[in-house]
Amino acid sequence: MSGRNEAAWRMFEADRASKNLGMRLVEATDGLAVVEMTVGPLMVNGHGIAHGGFVFTLADTAFACACNVDGRGVTVASGADVTFVAAAHEGDVLVATARERTVFGRSGLYDVTVHRGEDVVAEFRGRSRTLPRRA
């Protein structure tokens, strides 16, 4: 872990919501983050598939880690969109890979792909905003 990417790891270590869902930060380097999660029995909806909210949360966590790799300051989501491509099921291991597309001023765009093995489960686009530093 280099000095530049410690911010994402520290942020993830303090992220009780993601950790309580069983998420694991696999990688956090310049403009990239990889987070994985196994779909548990409490994450399945009435159709017997992973609830989209949990898939979104996984993508959002990877997005947050990618946004905060460089330690520029506290960077948060200003919005996000998701497209669900395929269903996930209990026991599936989902891997979300977030990539920085562009940063302009205090704003940024990030794309996240959620995979189950070779299959794409969801595509997510996040918009970020770095908050002004407090005096």
Question: What is the model's pTM?
Answer: 0.93
> Please, are residues 62 and 13 in contact by the beta-carbon 8 Å criterion?
no
d(CA 105, CA 112): 21
pLDDT at res. 1: 43
Which segments of the chain have a pLDDT < 70? 1-5, 134-135
Q: What pLDDT sits at residue 94?
A: 98
Helix, strand or coil, per DSSP, at residue 131: coil
The DSSP result for 68-80, as a single string, is: TTT-SS-EEEEEE
pLDDT of residue 2: 44
Residue-wise pLDDT tens digits, 97-123: 999 999 999 999 999 999 999 999 999
Domains in the chain, please, with CATH? 6-130 (3.10.129.10)
Average pLDDT, the chain: 93
